[in-house]
Structure formats: structure tokens, C-alpha cells
């Protein structure tokens, strides 16, 4: 009989710094889907890691099971997170599981409707800020320093510890690390976490590693991939090399001008021999539509940045023939249907309730 997935902390207990009193929604174990259509466009062998299949619909759950388990264990009664939407959705759900309160600080008017709905239905207290994500994160940092509230943004190091397990899963499925890993970059926690995970599976540490859990087991992978980080053109501080004061992009999840994990992301880029590049909003929306129409995976705009970046690299002749490539698609398309539909009509023809009318409407 197949063994049910037990959540990332139970599955990867040997490689994580905390494993007691776990708060979990059985996150992780997400599909690694081969995408032949992307093979044909790039000349590589391309997989998408579908993180929208996590319990709250994004990769944030991997980090949140670690961070909320840790702070709940310390007796904390209230957690806080700044968010472009997915962190707040995840924090709110895991706070429910832990029986503690959750406050989320969000840029007013810039959160996708589905994500806002998640924070609301899970009972979080919402604070909308007339500012961007970077303002929200500053407020939450100051708030959690001065009050008995625990910070669960990715500057909480347990978050990255949980998120690194996505790299473990990929190696476990492929048998070794891919040649190249592509993912969207906003606050830069995830690229740092993947880089840590790949390195630890290869028996090495990164600056984000915890001393005690990183390399106590024998290596599983023989190598680490090149890391390609992709930002939105209007919110590309790592590409420009300096913070962006007024970040702007249709991919609101990565509308971030001053990433908290800046140094870790630069380490991942440089040590892996990879790069951090940017794509336009139009490229992001095209990649989102392509994934939906040709791969069968509906992702949110920020997630499509990874695939847009890969396709751009292919157009520039920068994709090695036959390379094994994994693109992380970080969040579920259902969170933001308005952007996905754009100007498309959602009014199907209404017919009489008969087979004849259905046949006629279908032109059969
Ligand atoms: C779908 O929820 O920052 O580079 O506050 O939701 O690790 O920040 C979300 C980020 C990519 C970027 N894709 O990851 C938040 C938040 C999706 C995201 C990113 C986010 P990081």
C-alpha cells in the first residue's frame, strides 16, 4: 500500500533543525511535472515543480510549517507577517492549526483577491498599508522587536529551512540535481532556500545553513544546479544592483523593491555560476497563458516569471541542448483569476437544457 505523505518535517526530519511538536497541513510532496511543450521550445528537458499544489496554494507552506511550529513551541500567542499575499494566506492557515493569532500587514490594493480571501477566512487580522511590501516588512520588523509578536517572514531562519525541502524532493525524483533550476525572485528567500537544499543534499553548506542539521548525513546528490533567478522588469533590484523605490508589476506577489535575502541570493547566483535576469509583464502573462494552454498547469503571474525567464534564455541561445531544467511555479492560478482572464470574456453562450442545443453549440 502507498504510504501517505506526512508533511515536510516528518519526511525530511533528519535534515531539519526542529522536528518536535509539529504544526502541519501535510505540505510538500508536490508534483514534478515533465513539460514536453517546453522541451520543444528550449531543446532541453524541462520539468515544472507545481508548488500551487500545497495546502494553501503556494510554496510558502513549506516554510510556514517550520516557523509556526517553532514559535508556537516557544509559547508565542501572536504571529505577524508582511506579505504580497501568499505569506499572509499561509501564516493565517498555520496559525489556525497552532491555535494562535495572526496579524498580516499588506500593501493596500495590491493583493490578489483569492489571497486576501484566504487571510480573511482563516481569521487573520488585516492591516492595509498605504505603501509597498518593503514598507510593510519594515513595519513588521519594528513591531515584532517592540511587542510580544513573533515574525514569520523569511527573515525568520526557520522559513528557509522548510523551503529547502523542495530541492530535496526534486533530487529524490530525478535521482540527482538538475543542470539548471529556474525560479521567480521577489524577497529572495526561495532562491536562497533552494540553493541551501541542493548544497546540503550534495554534502555542502551555504551561508543560510544551520550548523547542526546541514551535512550530518551522507550526500544524496553528486552536484548542484546553476540557479537562474527571474524578477519582473519593474521590480528587479537584484538585476539593477540597487533597491527599487517604487516597484511595479502585474505579478503582485513579486512586487518587491528591496529583497530581505539579497546577500543569500547573490551567493546562490555567483556560486552556482547562474544569473538573475528580468522579464516584462507581457512575457510573464504570455508564459502564464502558455503553461495553462500547453502544459495543463494554471499558475499565478509571479510563478510564470520562471518559465518566461527560461523562454527568454532560449531565445538568446543560452539554454544548453539537452540540459535537465526545473522551473518552480510557486503559486496557484486560482488565487488571481482576474489577472489570468484579463480582457477575456467569461460569458459562455446559454442554451436550452437539451442534447440538441449542446450539440449545436459545440458545432458537432
Ligand atoms: C507566488 O507572500 O513575498 O523570492 O509576501 O508569492 O522567496 O520572496 C511572496 C513571494 C514567488 C517570490 N512566487 O519568492 C509574500 C511574498 C510567488 C510568491 C515569490 C512569491 P521569494
Q: How far is the CA of 87 from the centre of ligand 1 (A)?
A: 7
Percent of the chain with pLDDT over 90: 95
The set of cell numbers assigned to 26 is 501535510
Beta-carbon-side half-sphere exposure of residue 312 (alpha carbons within 13 Å): 25
User: Which residues, in sequence order, are CB contacts of 217 under 8 Å at separation 6+?
Assistant: 14, 15
77 CA distance to ligand 1 middle (Å): 25
State residue 216's pLDDT score: 82
C-alpha span between 182 and 114 (Å, rounded)? 25
Is the pLDDT at 13 greater than 80, yes or no?
Answer: yes
pLDDT given at position 38 = 98
Average pLDDT across the chain, whole number: 96
Confidence of residue 30 (pLDDT cuts 50, 70, 90): very high
pLDDT tens readout for residues 148-193: 999 999 999 999 999 999 999 999 999 999 999 999 999 999 999 9
pLDDT at 212 over 90: no
Cα 327 to Cα 329: distance, rounded to the nearest angstrom: 6
Which residue's CA is the nearest one to ligand 1's atom 8? 187
pTM exceeds 0.85, yes or no:
yes
Q: E-strand spans in 147-264?
A: 150-151, 180-184, 226-232
Ligand 1 first shell, C-beta below 6 A: 58, 83-87, 184-190, 253-254, 300, 302-303, 330-331
pLDDT in tens, 34-83: 999 999 999 999 999 999 999 999 999 999 999 999 999 999 999 999 99
pLDDT of 56:
98
DSSP E strand stretches across 91-188: 101-107, 125-129, 150-151, 180-184
Residue 346 pLDDT more than 90?
no
Q: Report which protein residue has its CA nearest ligand 1's atom 12.
A: 186
| Whole-number pLDDT of residue 231 | 98
Residue-wise pLDDT for 75-121, tens only, equals 999 999 999 999 999 999 999 999 999 999 999 999 999 999 999 99
Q: Does residue 348 register a pLDDT over 90?
A: no
Residue position matching grid coordinates 546528490 = 221
Dist. CA 85 → ligand 1 center (Å): 8
Query: Which residue among 50, 56, 61, 86 is best mutated to probe the pocket of ligand 1, counting the most ligand atoms within 8 A of its Cβ?
Result: 86
Using an 8 Å Cβ cutoff, are 302 and 253 in contact?
Answer: yes
Within 8 A by CB and 6+ apart from 154, the residues are 63, 87, 160, 163, 187, 189, 193, 260, 261
The span from the CA of 329 to the CA of 308, in Å, is 11
Q: Name residues whose C-beta falls within 8 Å of residue 257's C-beta, 6 or more positions apart in sequence.
A: 132, 133, 134, 235, 237, 243, 244, 245, 246, 247
Report phi then psi at 72, rounded to 5: -65, -35
Ligand 1 atom at shortest distance from the alpha carbon of 192: 7
Output the pLDDT for position 211: 81
Q: Would strands 32-34 and 45-50 be described as parallel, antiparallel, or unpaired? A: antiparallel
Residue 200, pLDDT > 80, answer: yes
pLDDT above 90 for 345 = no
Q: What is the pLDDT of residues 223-237, one digit of tens each?
A: 999 999 999 999 999
- The predicted-structure confidence for 285-297, as pLDDT tens digits, reads as follows 999 999 999 999 9
Percent of the chain with pLDDT over 70: 100
What pLDDT is recorded for position 338? 94
What is the reported pLDDT for 264?
A: 98
- Counting ligand 1 atoms within 8 A of each CB, the residue from 186, 263, 335 with the most, and so the one to mutate, is 186
Task: Write down the pLDDT at residue 237.
Answer: 98
* pLDDT of 316 strictly over 90: yes
Pocket perturbation via mutation, ligand 1, pick of 254, 284, 301, 327 by most ligand atoms within 8 A of CB: 254
Q: Is the pLDDT of residue 22 over 90?
A: yes
Amino acid at each position: 500500500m502507498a504510504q501517505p505523505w506526512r508533511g515536510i518535517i516528518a519526511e525530511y526530519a533528519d535534515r531539519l533543525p526542529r522536528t518536535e511538536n509539529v504544526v502541519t497541513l501535510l505540505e510538500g510532496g508536490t508534483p514534478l511535472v515533465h513539460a514536453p511543450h517546453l522541451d520543444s521550445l528550449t531543446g532541453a528537458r524541462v520539468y515544472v515543480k507545481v508548488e500551487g499544489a500545497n495546502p494553501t496554494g503556494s510554496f510558502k507552506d513549506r516554510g510556514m510549517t517550520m516557523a509556526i511550529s517553532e514559535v508556537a513551541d516557544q509559547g508565542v500567542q501572536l504571529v505577524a507577517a508582511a506579505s504580497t499575499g501568499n505569506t499572509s494566506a499561509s501564516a493565517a492557515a498555520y496559525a489556525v492549526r497552532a491555535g494562535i493569532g495572526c496579524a498580516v500587514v499588506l500593501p493596500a490594493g495590491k493583493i490578489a483577491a483569492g489571497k486576501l480571501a484566504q487571510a480573511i477566512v482563516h481569521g487573520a487580522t488585516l492591516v492595509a498599508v498605504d505603501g509597498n511590501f518593503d514598507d510593510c516588512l519594515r513595519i513588521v520588523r519594528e513591531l515584532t522587536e517592540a511587542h510580544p509578536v513573533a515574525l514569520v517572514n523569511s527573515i525568520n531562519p526557520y522559513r528557509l529551512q522548510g523551503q529547502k525541502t523542495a530541492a530535496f524532493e526534486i533530487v529524490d525524483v530525478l535521482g540527482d540535481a538538475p543542470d539548471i533550476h529556474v525560479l521567480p525572485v521577489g524577497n529572495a528567500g526561495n532562491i536562497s532556500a533552494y540553493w541551501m537544499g541542493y548544497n546540503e543534499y550534495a554534502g555542502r553548506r551555504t551561508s543560510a545553513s544551520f550548523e547542526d542539521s546541514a551535512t550530518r548525513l551522507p550526500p544524496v546528490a553528486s552536484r548542484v544546479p546553476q540557479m537562474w533567478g527571474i524578477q519582473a522588469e519593474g521590480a528587479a533590484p537584484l538585476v539593477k544592483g540597487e533597491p527599487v523605490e517604487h516597484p511595479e508589476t502585474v505579478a503582485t506577489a513579486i512586487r518587491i523593491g528591496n529583497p530581505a535575502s539579497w546577500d543569500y541570493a547573490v551567493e546562490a547566483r555567483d556560486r552556482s555560476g547562474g544569473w538573475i535576469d528580468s522579464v516584462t509583464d507581457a512575457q510573464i502573462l504570455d508564459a502564464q497563458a502558455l503553461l495553462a494552454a500547453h502544459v495543463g498547469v494554471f499558475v499565478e503571474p509571479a510563478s510564470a516569471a520562471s518559465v518566461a525567464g527560461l523562454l527568454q534564455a532560449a531565445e538568446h541561445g543560452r539554454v544548453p541542448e539537452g540540459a535537465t531544467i526545473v522551473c518552480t511555479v510557486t503559486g496557484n492560478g486560482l488565487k488571481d483569476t482576474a489577472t489570468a482572464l484579463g480582457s477575456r470574456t467569461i460569458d459562455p453562450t446559454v442554451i436550452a437544457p437539451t442534447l440538441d442545443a449542446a450539440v449545436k453549440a459545440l458545432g458537432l
